[in-house]
Structure 1
Amino acid sequence: MDILTRAAAYLELHGRLIDRLTFAALFADGSRQRALDALRCYQNPDGGFGHALEPDLRGAGSQPEPVEVAFHVLDSLDAFDDPMVPAACDYLLSVTAKDGGVPFVLPSVRGTAHAVWWEPASDDPPGDLVPTATLVALLHKHGVEHAWLGPATDFCWSRIALVEETTPYHARAVIPFLEHVPDRARAEAEFARLRDAVLANVTFDPAASGDAHFPLDFAPEPLRLPLFDAATLDTHLDAVVAAQTPEGGWAPNWPMWTPLVEHEWGGHLTVARLQTLRAYGRL
C-alpha cells in the first residue's frame, strides 16, 4: 500500500473534515471549493478564526494563531483571493497591539479550554513574532494588499533586528518572513546574521524523540534561503517517509494535553507531511 493510500485510510478513520477535504483537494482530485467551504465554518463574524481550528485552542472565539492555521490551508489551496483573507486581515487589524504586531494569544482565551502554553502574557499583551511573522510572510507570498500588512511588516523588521538568540518557534516564524518579504537585500542580510542562531534550534538527529524541531519543520518546502544542504534534507525526507505510522498518519511529537487533540493534530500533520514530500519530489 503506497503512502497516499495509507494516509487516506488514516484520515478517513481519524481526520477532521477540514483535513479530509484538504487532502482530497490536494491529492485525490477532490473539490477545492468544498475544502474552502469547510474552512469558512471556522471563521467568525469578526473575521478571525476559532472553533479549535488550532486544536490546542478549543474555544469558539477568534485568536491570532488560528488565523495562521487558516492561512496555511489557504496557501496550500492557492486561495488567497478568497474573501476569507481580507476579513481575516480586518480582524488582525482590530487586535493588533500598539507596537504593530498581533499578540501570541489574547486574554479572551481565559475561561475556554486550552493547552497550558496558550496563556496571555498580560491583560494587554504585546505583539509577538509568533504568529505575526508567519502571517506577514504568507500575505507577501501571495501579493495581498491590506492596511494591516505594512505596519506589521515594520514590526517584524524591528523585532528581528533585536534577535541574537532565539527559540525554535520564533525561528520557525522568522524564516518564512525572510523567505517572502519583498525587501530581498535586507532579508538576505538578516538571514546571514541569524543563520547560526536559527540552526542552534534545529534537531539534526532524525531519530530524536520528544519536542524536537527538525530541518523540514523550518523548510517544509524548498527555500531560496540557504538554510540546509541537500544531503541534510534528503536524510530528513527519508525519516519523514519512515515515520508514517502503521495506521497511515504522522503523529505529533509534543505533549498531548487531552486525548482528542492527538488525532486532530495527526490529521493536520498528515496533510502537511504529504505536502512536504510532494514539494521535494518524493510523491
Structure 2
Amino acid sequence: MSDSYKLPHRPTSSVRPMDVLHRAGTYLRLHARLIDRLRFEALFAGGSRERVLDTLRCYQNPDGGFGHALEPDLRGVGSQPEPVEVAFWILDELDAFSDPMVTAACDYLLSVTTEDGGVPFVLPSVRDTPRAPWWETADDPPGNLIPTASLAGLLHKHGIDHPWRGPATDFCWRAVAAMDKITPYEARAVVTFLDLVPDRERALAEFDRLKDGILATVSLDPDAPGEAHFPLDFAPAPLRLPLFDAEVLDRHLDALPAAQSEEGGWHPNFLMWTPVVAHEWGGYLTVGRLKTLRAYGRLPG
C-alpha cells in the first residue's frame, strides 16, 4: 500500500454501504452471467469460492488458454492471451493461484510467446470469430505489454515461478525502458507490473521516469464523459507506487456510489458493440467496483 493512502478512512459519502451492496446484489442477480454472480456471493455473501473456480474452469480450453467470452468482447471459443488476464484477476481475488488452472494457463502462454518474450495483444485466429472492432492484429504480431505486463506482475505477486515468467519479465523491463509515449491501457498494464514486480529499486526508477506520462492518461474529473480512465481504474486497490494522493482517491471513492445505476450496477463507459456485452461487462465491473470500495475501507471487510 502506498504511503499516500492509509486505512482506516471514514467515508464522506452519504450513501449507506449496505445499501450499495444490496442494490448491487439485486443488479447482479437480474443482469450478470453466472461467474460474476458467484464471484459476488463468494466475496461478499459467504458463498463458495470453489464454485467460482469450477465455473472458471469451463472457460479454459484443453490448450490451457481461456476463451468462450470470458473477456466479453472476444466472443470466440478459442484461446487468446487477454482472457488469461481476466482469469488471473479472478484467481487473484480468490487467492487461488495454487489451482492447476494457473500452470496450464502459463503453459499456454509459453506456446504463444513471441521471440521477444512477450505474448501478443491478440492472435490472428481472432479473425475467424465474432469480436469487438478493436480486436485486430497483424499476421505475425509482436509481444505486447497488454496483457504481458499484468500477467507477469500477478505471477510475481503470488510467487509462481513458471518458465514463462522469466522471459516475460525481461520483455516487460525492455518494453518499459523503451517507452516514450504511453496509452491509457498501456499505462494501466505498466502500473500493475511496476507495482507487483519484486525488484523495487528498478520499478521505482522506471515509475519516476514514466509518472507524468501515466498521469497524462488519467481523467481526474469523476464526471468526465466518454471512454475516460479514472484513478481507481489504475488503483482498484491501494498501490505501493505513489501514483495518487489521498485527496484524489477520496474524491473518486466518494463518486463511486453516486455512479451506481438505478438498477444497482456500474456500467461500462466504452463502446457496447452488441447487446449481450453490456450485461456481461456490467456484471464484471460491478463486482470490481465493490471490491474497490472494500479495498479502501468503504464497504465492510
Give the alignment's TM-score, normalised by structure 1. 0.99
1:98 and 2:115 correspond: yes
1:49-98: CA deviation from partner (whole Å, max 9, x where unpaired): 00000000000000000000000000011100100000000000000011
Question: Which residue, out of 169, 183, 186, partners 2:199?
Answer: 183
* Structure 1 segment 53-68 matched on structure 2, within 5 A: 53-68=70-85
1:116 alignment partner in structure 2: 133
Gapped regions of structure 1 (runs ≥ 5): none
2:187 alignment partner in structure 1: 171
1:234 and 2:250 correspond: yes
CA distance in 2, matches of 1:141, 1:265: 26
CA distance in 2, matches of 1:79, 1:53: 18
Structure 1 residue 165: deviation in Å? 1.5
Question: Which residue, out of 7, 12, 26, partners 1:9?
Answer: 26
1:230-256: CA deviation from partner (whole Å, max 9, x where unpaired): 000000001111101110100000010
Instruction: Give the aligned residue type for 1:90.
Output: D
CA distance in 1, matches of 2:91, 2:260: 25
2:43 alignment partner in structure 1: 26
Structure 1 residue 24: deviation in Å? 0.4
Question: Which residue, out of 268, 273, 276, partners 1:260?
Answer: 276
CA distance in 2, matches of 1:281, 1:209: 27
Instruction: Give the aligned residue type for 1:2.
Output: D
Gapped regions of structure 2 (runs ≥ 5): 1-17
Question: Which residue, out of 141, 150, 154, partners 1:138?
Answer: 154
Structure 1 residue 259: deviation in Å? 0.8
CA distance in 2, matches of 1:256, 1:17: 20
SS at match of 1:2: helix
Structure 1 residue 209: deviation in Å? 1.0
* Structure 1 segment 204-219 matched on structure 2, within 5 A: 204-219=220-235
CA distance in 2, matches of 1:11, 1:46: 31
Instruction: Give the aligned residue type for 1:214.
Output: F
CA distance in 1, matches of 2:21, 2:96: 23
Instruction: Give the aligned residue type for 2:295.
Output: A
CA distance in 1, matches of 2:94, 2:46: 12
SS at match of 1:151: helix
CA distance in 1, matches of 2:296, 2:197: 22
SS at match of 1:110: helix
CA distance in 2, matches of 1:261, 1:233: 28
SS at match of 2:148: helix
1:146-178: CA deviation from partner (whole Å, max 9, x where unpaired): 000000000000000011220000000000100
Instruction: Give the aligned residue type for 2:207.
Output: F
1:78 alignment partner in structure 2: 95
Question: Which residue, out of 142, 151, 163, partners 1:147?
Answer: 163
Which structure is higher in RCO with an 8 Å CA cutoff and minimum separation 6? 2
Question: Which residue, out of 126, 147, 152, partners 2:142?
Answer: 126
Question: Which residue, out of 35, 48, 60, partners 2:65?
Answer: 48
Structure 1 residue 182: deviation in Å? 1.0
CA distance in 2, matches of 1:281, 1:184: 26
2:286 alignment partner in structure 1: 270
Q: Work out the number of aligned pairs and report it.
A: 282
SS at match of 2:128: coil
Instruction: Give the aligned residue type for 1:217.
Output: D
Give the alignment's TM-score, normalised by structure 2. 0.93
CA distance in 2, matches of 1:25, 1:262: 23
